[in-house]
Structure 1
Amino acid sequence: MEGWHMTDVEQRLAALEERLALLEEERAVARLISSYGPLVDSGSADAVAALWEPDGVYDVEELVMTGRDEIAAMVRSDAHQGWITGGAAHFVGPPHVTVTGDEAVAVGYSLMILRDRNGFEVRRATANHWRLRKGPDGWRATTRTARVLDGRSQARELLAEGVTAPGT
């Protein structure tokens, strides 16, 4: 309509809807990331792989997996099956999420905890940097890079890049 202008209430409502939509996107990304631990510890190989885009990359220090088949194969591997049948928890801390349109960056920590004869021990503490994209099926990881927090600068750089990304 010519000459039509939004009222103050309409402007405030539009701003509120925009803020709510961003919070919903951030929550969807955080839920995807937090689902990794329960899925990988339950041995749900296909569901773990489906967290990534079909050509997504999961780069974990000693292993770089490209595509869902390789990610699912990691979950089905003898090493992984041994960990989860012996008692394992892949604990993923709350991520710092930055959504920019249909792309997101998230960073945070994960712990791989294994049961041993004395109880539980932390096998690995890791910095995680996720890149994600929203498509027709929702959010999926394009790349997850994980580096052990052993004093090397690469892990610290991954964390800093994700928290200082544009829009944070």
Structure 2
Amino acid sequence: MSEDRIAALEARLGLLEDERAVARAMASYGPLVDSGEADAVAALWAPDGVYDIDELYLAGRERIGEMVRSPAHRGWIQQGCAHVVGPPHITVQGDEAVAVCHSLMVVHEAGRYVVRRATANHWRLCRTPGGAGWQVVTRTNRVLDGRAESPVLLARGVRGDPAGG
């Protein structure tokens, strides 16, 4: 096999590994938040990372951890809830990635499961120093309730636009 072909294969494999690592980081959010693992949820974000949810703007790991520890969130866990992150569309460019997906918050109410929220998600991630993994720089969520900004957020993510919303 030629040196060029080996280099091309290594580049393709590296991209696949990066996409898989980003997808795994994103997929870990639901199980961690639904089990109340506040520190592990916060560690998904860069130290100064942002989680921008319709009604909440959380800047920094401390605030993200506080959200998971909050009485409101603990109540969702006790009632029964599932944060389901759909399959992502991921664009990796060097040490940065943009991903987009849908998410659902399913809650247990009166003996049945109800979708409480269907949300457009735009993620910006960066490779950690030393290549130890990927962390969220910003995650922007907007409810899919007919507002114009939600589908725009999805389209920007598919295009790999780091601007998000």
TM over 0.5: yes
Distance 1:64 1:38 in 2: 22
Q: Does 1:94 align with 2:94?
A: no
- Root mean square deviation of aligned Cα: 1.0
Aligned pairs (5 A) from 1:103-114: 103-114=96-107
Residue identity over aligned pairs, in percent, reads 64
Distance 2:82 2:111 in 1: 16
Deviation at residue 138 of structure 1 after TM alignment:
1.7
Distance 2:44 2:89 in 1: 18
Distance 1:18 1:74 in 2: 39
SS across alignment from 2:32: helix
Distance 1:26 1:110 in 2: 19
SS across alignment from 1:151: coil
Q: Which one-letter code corresponds to 2:83 in the other structure?
A: H
Q: Which one-letter code corresponds to 2:5 in the other structure?
A: R
TM-score (ref. length: structure 1): 0.92
Q: Hey, what does 1:142 align to over in structure 2?
A: 137
Distance 2:95 2:62 in 1: 25
Distance 1:165 1:106 in 2: 7
Distance 1:53 1:10 in 2: 37
Q: Does 1:61 align with 2:65?
A: no
Q: Which one-letter code corresponds to 2:105 in the other structure?
A: M
Match of 1:165 among 155, 160, 163: 160
Distance 2:139 2:160 in 1: 16
Match of 2:151 among 153, 156, 165: 156
Distance 1:86 1:118 in 2: 10
Deviation at residue 96 of structure 1 after TM alignment:
0.4
Q: Which one-letter code corresponds to 1:158 in the other structure?
A: L
Q: Does 1:22 align with 2:9?
A: no
For the Cα contact (< 8 Å) 2:90–2:160, is it kept in 1?
no
Q: Which one-letter code corresponds to 1:14 in the other structure?
A: A
Deviation at residue 153 of structure 1 after TM alignment:
1.0
Deviation at residue 11 of structure 1 after TM alignment:
1.6
Distance 2:145 2:95 in 1: 33
**Count of matched residue pairs:** 159
SS across alignment from 2:2: helix
Distance 2:160 2:125 in 1: 14
TM-score (ref. length: structure 2): 0.94
Distance 1:143 1:101 in 2: 17
Identify unmatched segments of 5+ residues in structure 1.
Answer: 1-7
